């Protein structure tokens, strides 16, 4: 039974029958004290144990655990002095910087609820999140202020870091400077809402995914503990935004549970990433597949820069076997591809020592999580048969004020993350596509990612996206938009070579009958850099209508 410590939670989460069933099968998941404050439990406890250990590296700054915790306490006191209180929703908006993390834990310290806002969203999306979350305040970097100022957000308190001290704004720096080092923590529980994170909004308005304190701890004590095997000596680095599901787990939660350290970069650049790995001594690198590909495309020799790495992790989108093998061959470090979401955290992952023939799969179960494949009647299918993936674990899909989405997100307690996949005879799962990202051609149902994976396996391809294009005979045929690696030029010969390559990998009816070479920057993307396939599909439909 799902419980939420929030006044009138039924109003924001919907009816009980649509809630997920949560299971706790690992000893760590039932060992937490029910009453705990996440800021004290994660940061405060280690600040007492090892106060001089570096918690964060940012450029040439080193912030110890003690300094981190003192700044959290000071800012929490400052927030209380402004009248913010338990259960208030506070929007966080800014690029990856120490102030963002200090703000998040300060909000949690007073029992308020962080609402994570991507720093690249525009004013209309700020307005939507403000209204939907019923937010009381926003804590933002000065670089985001122009869009905040454009938004119609009456009554929203604006707390700004970046040294802006003007009428109408509250200075983060002044609050930190004048407040006390000690702060009484709100008496929150495991069922307190830990954060609200909004989806990318690729189809319609984004929905707010809700996670509790127990959910946040569970992803650390399943995926981080048993798959990534994070330890005290690790320095975790990478580029995913703190407001992006990948960054939420890897950066805002994982280091602190184990007394590890975090390396922060403000924005991704391949050369800057290599330099940061070397200077900060990063041991675990978290990047999306596109970032790994961009780093692989560097003409510079970086073997010495990555010697500190013991492990890499990929998430956000499926990692191709080609990218894995190129990175492993060049730098000697494996990449674990993990599947998860901001709503449901992680449920599948590759793991160290996985057999070579399973590279390209999304691995097996994250300990503490159950996964099954079902048909359209929700009956479990035999291994080797494709179908919809259902998930059950210590976290679950819960949407803020979206009962319509909640009803379809859960089936008899099982979560439906919208994934089409197959499980092989050895128990490994293979991603095929989103359940809403299937191309139907001549009666065949073809998962887009299966086609894209085959295309991406060609030595000339950086990335690709497969979409349906209307056809008078077959209903639809597959069209592929292909981004080439540096050094390759579009040509009819290369187009045919890629088609033949796909035919050698898949059944003949799955090859792209049309290939268009494009630039990466011409593909529409979300603020988390995911390709907006729905936009491309719509464009294709409109183009076909004009030509008919």
283 pLDDT higher than 90: yes
Predicted local distance difference test score (pLDDT) of residue 220: 97
- Please give the Cα distance from 524 to 192 (Å, whole number): 37
CATH architecture, domain 37-188: 3-Layer(aba) Sandwich (3.40)
Q: Where exactly are the structural domains of the chain?
A: 37-188, 437-547
* Cβ atoms of 373 and 193 closer than 8 Å: no
pLDDT of residue 372: 97
Helices (H), 3-88: 9-13, 38, 45-49, 65-81
pLDDT digits (tens, 9 = 90+) for 118-129: 998 889 999 999
**Which region among 3-17, 161-175, 337-351, 450-464 has the lowest average model confidence (pLDDT)?**
3-17
Tokens, residue 503: 């035919």
Three-state DSSP state, 474: coil
The predicted pLDDT at position 406 comes to 87
Mean pLDDT of 355-380: 95
User: Could you tell me which CATH class the domain 437-547 is placed in?
Assistant: alpha beta
**196 pLDDT above the threshold of 70:** yes
Query: How many percent of the chain have pLDDT more than 70?
Result: 97
Q: Is the pLDDT of residue 528 over 70?
A: no
Q: How far apart are CA 390 and CA 399, in angstroms?
A: 17
Please report which confidence band the pLDDT of residue 474 belongs to, taking 50, 70 and 90 as the band edges: confident
Q: What are phi and psi of 483, to 5 degrees?
A: -100, 125
Contacts of residue 46, defined as CB under 8 A and 6 or more positions apart, other chains included, come to 53, 65, 256, 259
Mean pLDDT of 228-234: 97
Tell me what pLDDT residue 165 has.
Answer: 67
Average pLDDT, the chain: 91
341 versus 194: the higher-pLDDT residue is: 194
Query: pLDDT class for 202, splitting at 50, 70, 90?
Result: very low
Q: Return the structure tokens found at 393.
A: 């674990």
Range 393-420 average pLDDT: 91
Residue 16 neighbours by CB distance under 10 Å? 9
- Note the pLDDT of residue 417: 92
- Cα–Cα distance for residue pair 315/340, rounded to 1 Å: 7
What's the first-to-final CA gap in the chain, in angstroms?
A: 54
Per the DSSP assignment, residues forming a β-bridge with 479 are 467, 514
Angstrom distances, CA of residue 421 to CA of 15, 313, 507 = 29, 21, 17
Helix axes 98-109 and 65-81, enclosed angle (nearest 10): 60
pLDDT of residue 259: 97
The closest alpha carbon to 399, from 346, 341, 340, 343, belongs to 343
Q: Where do we find the tokens 């010969």?
A: 493
Banded pLDDT at 506 (limits 50, 70, 90): confident
pLDDT band for position 264 (50/70/90)?
Answer: very high
pLDDT confidence of residue 447: 81
Residues 6+ apart with CB under 8 A from 418: 434, 435, 436
State how far the Cα of 487 lies from the Cα of 316, in Å rounded to an integer: 27
- Strand-pairing partners, residue 171, are 160
pLDDT tens for each residue of 55-108: 999 999 999 999 999 999 999 999 999 999 999 999 999 999 999 999 999 999
Residue 542 pLDDT grade (very low, low, confident, very high; cuts 50, 70, 90): confident
* Predicted model pTM: 0.85
- Do residues 283 and 310 touch, judged by C-beta distance below 8 A? yes
Q: What is the pLDDT of residue 546?
A: 79
Percentage of the chain exceeding pLDDT 90: 71
3-state SS class at 419 = strand
Of 182 and 293, which is predicted with more confidence?
182
What is the rounded average pLDDT of the residues 148-156?
94
| Predicted pLDDT at 538 | 83
Give the model's pLDDT for residue 204: 58
Average of per-residue pLDDT across 332-340 = 94
């Amino acid at each position: 039974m799902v419980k939420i410590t929030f006044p009138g939670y039924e109003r924001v989460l919907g009816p009980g029958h649509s809630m997920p069933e949560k299971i706790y099968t690992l000893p760590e998941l039932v060992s937490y004290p029910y009453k705990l404050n996440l800021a004290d439990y994660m940061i405060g406890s280690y600040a007492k144990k090892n106060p001089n250990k570096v918690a964060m590296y940012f450029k040439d700054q080193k912030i110890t655990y003690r300094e981190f915790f003192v700044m959290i306490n000071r800012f929490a006191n400052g927030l209380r002095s402004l009248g913010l209180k338990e259960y208030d929703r506070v929007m966080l908006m800014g690029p990856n910087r120490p102030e963002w993390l200090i703000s998040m834990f300060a909000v949690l310290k007073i029992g308020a609820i962080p609402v994570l806002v991507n720093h690249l969203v525009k004013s209309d999306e700020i307005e939507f999140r403000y209204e939907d979350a019923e937010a009381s305040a926003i804590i933002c970097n000065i670089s985001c202020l122009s869009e905040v100022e454009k938004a119609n957000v009456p009554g929203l308190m604006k707390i700004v870091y970046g040294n802006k001290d003007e009428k109408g704004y509250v200075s983060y720096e002044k609050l930190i400077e004048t407040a006390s080092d000690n702060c009484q923590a709100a008496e929150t529980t495991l069922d307190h809402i830990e954060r609200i994170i909004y989806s990318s909004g690729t189809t319609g308005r984004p929905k707010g995914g809700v996670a509790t304190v127990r959910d946040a701890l569970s992803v650390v004590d399943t995926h981080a503990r048993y798959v990534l095997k994070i330890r005290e000596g690790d320095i975790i680095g990478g580029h995913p935004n703190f407001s992006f599901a990948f960054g939420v787990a890897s950066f805002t939660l994982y280091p602190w549970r184990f007394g590890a350290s975090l390396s922060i970069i403000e924005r991704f650049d391949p050369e800057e990433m290599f330099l940061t790995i070397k200077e900060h001594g990063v041991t675990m690198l978290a990047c999306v597949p596109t970032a790994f590909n961009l780093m692989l495309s560097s003409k510079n020799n970086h073997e010495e820069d990555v010697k500190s790495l013991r492990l890499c992790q990929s998430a956000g989108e499926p990692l191709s076997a080609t990218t894995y093998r190129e990175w492993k061959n060049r730098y000697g470090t494996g990449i674990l591809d993990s599947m998860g979401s901001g709503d449901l955290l992680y449920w599948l992952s590759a793991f160290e020592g996985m057999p070579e023939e399973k590279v390209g799969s999304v691995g097996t179960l994250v300990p503490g999580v159950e996964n099954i494949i079902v048909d359209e009647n929700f009956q479990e299918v035999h291994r080797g048969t494709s179908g919809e993936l259902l998930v059950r674990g210590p976290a679950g899909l819960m949407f803020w004020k979206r009962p319509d989405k909640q009803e379809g997100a859960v089936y008899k307690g099982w979560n439906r993350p919208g994934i089409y996949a197959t499980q092989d005879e050895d128990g490994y799962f293979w991603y095929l596509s989103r359940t809403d990202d299937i191309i139907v051609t001549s009666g065949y149902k073809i998962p887009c990612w299966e086609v894209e994976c085959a295309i991406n396996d060609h030595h000339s391809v950086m990335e690709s996206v497969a979409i349906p294009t209307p056809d008078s005979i077959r209903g639809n045929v597959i069209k592929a938009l292909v981004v080439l690696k540096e050094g390759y030029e579009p040509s009819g010969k290369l187009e045919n070579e890629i088609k033949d390559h796909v035919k050698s990998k898949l059944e003949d009816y799955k090859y792209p009958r049309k290939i268009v070479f494009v630039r990466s920057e011409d593909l529409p993307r979300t603020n988390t850099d995911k390709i907006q396939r729905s936009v491309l599909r719509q464009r294709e439909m409109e183009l076909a209508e004009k030509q008919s």
